[in-house]
Amino acid sequence: MVNRGRGRLGCLFAILVVAVALYYGIPVVQVYWDYYKLIDEMRTSARFAPTTSDDQILRHLRSVVDDLELPAEAKLFTIRRTDGPGRVTIRTRYREVIELPFHQRTLTFRPTAEVRQ
């Protein structure tokens, strides 16, 4: 029986498909990963809000935005404290542009963290 290389060609094609998926998928995953990291930091800051001033929270969250290399518009946080049920809400909004083959996609993120004391 003669081996015509069909198995090798199929394997190379599968490797090519996986490589292309990783090449274009990793940036998308990184954008969402950073979004979830920011939400986690916002929730932590909201949890400690009773003992922390708004300026301290803003400085911390802005440094997180710098560390994650998010757009500058993500630094525009709003902190809202209500006395009634003791609620702290932290919000921001930003856009990320993802380059895909033959296509550019803009994603708008609106991370929000709310904690009731």
Q: Which of 22, 20, 24 is nearest to 99 (CA)?
A: 24
Residue 92 pLDDT: 97
- pLDDT attached to residue 9: 76
Q: Kindly tell me if the per-residue pLDDT of 12 is higher than 90.
A: no
The beta-carbon contacts of 43-48 under 8 Å, at least 24 apart in sequence, are 43/113, 43/115, 45/90, 45/113, 46/88, 46/89, 46/90, 46/113, 46/114, 46/115, 47/115
- Tokens representing 95 are 């856009």
The arithmetic mean of pLDDT across residues 48-75, rounded, is 95
Q: Above pLDDT 70, what percent of the chain?
A: 95
| Confidence category of residue 75, pLDDT binned at 50, 70, 90 | very high
- pLDDT at 74 exceeding the cut of 70: yes
Per DSSP, helices labelled H in 1-117 are 6-47, 54-68
Helix 54-68 × helix 6-47 angle, to 10°: 170
Q: What would the mean pLDDT of 10-37 be, rounded to a whole number?
A: 89
Look at residue 51 and tell me whether its pLDDT is greater than 70: yes
What's the average model confidence in pLDDT over 18-33? 89
pLDDT at 43 over 70: yes
Say what the pLDDT of residue 5 is.
56
Tell me what the mean pLDDT of segment 62-81 comes to: 96
